[in-house]
Every structure is written in C-alpha cells, then in structure tokens.
Amino acid sequence: MTPHDSPETLLPALERELHDPSVRRDRVRLEALLDPEFVEVGRSGRVYTKTSMLPHLAAEDPVRIHAQDFRVALLAADVALVTYRAAHVLPGGELVRHSLRCSIWRRGEHGWRLRYQQGTPADVIPGDAQAQ
C-alpha cells in the first residue's frame, strides 16, 4: 500500500487498518488516520469526536472485525465515500453485531484521513454467518 495507490485500493486498506486492535491502541497512527474534525455516529447511536474516540479505542477490549463488500465513490477529487458491511468475530468465528458502514475520507497535505463514519445495525445476510 502506497500513497499513490488508487482510492479504490487504498481506502478499504485504511479502513481495515483501523479495525486492527494494535492500530486502535496506537495514538500516533490514529492521529495520522483520523481527520482533526473526525466524527463517528456508532452502531449504538453514540456520537464520538476525535477527542473522545482516542481514549475510547485505547480502553476497549480487543475485538476482531470482519469487513466485506467495500465500495468507493469519489465525491470530489479529494473526497471519497466508502461503504461496506462489518461484524464482530467471536472466538469460534461466528459473526455478531452486524452493521452497514459508511465513511467519508478526505485527502489533504497529510494524505487520506477519515472525516466521518456511521454504523447502522444490519441483519445477517445468508453466507455471512462465519468469518472467512
């Protein structure tokens, strides 16, 4: 993965990086990935800002996240919408807490940064019952 990769390649990779428990606890990397104006409306409906998200991620129990069906749409030259399905993976591989995700990324002098994310609870799609 390089900064010169297409948004269709790079942005799903950055989303997956944000799912990695080691990255979620790495304040320096999160500072680089999250836009200063970052806002998330979580699956629970709770709203997080960058300031509230950083300590939240540092304190959370590590969770494995399965993500699939990424789509990237450029809204402007330096703004992209990423949509995908996600779920938490239990130790036995069962997928729970399914959600539909949408993210807005914007590219600036420091590269692509996540500006907004929303998670919406979703039903299980047949074939989604186990992580690959």
Helix, strand, coil in percent for the chain, rounding step 5: 25, 45, 25
In a domain, 84, yes or no: yes
In a domain, 129, yes or no: no
Is the predicted pLDDT of residue 130 greater than 60, yes or no? no
In a domain, 126, yes or no: no
pTM of the predicted structure, to 2 decimals: 0.89
What's the CATH number where 15 sits? 3.10.450.50
In a domain, 103, yes or no: yes
The percent of residues above 70 in pLDDT, for the chain, comes to 91
In a domain, 71, yes or no: yes
Domain that holds residue 92: 7-121
| Amino acid sitting at position 23 | V
Which residues have a Cβ under 8 Å from the Cβ of 65 and sit 6 or more positions away?
Answer: 19, 86, 87, 88, 89
In a domain, 128, yes or no: no
Which has more confidence, 96 or 127? 96
Q: Give the SS3 label for residue 46.
A: coil
Work out how many domains the chain is built from and give that number: 1
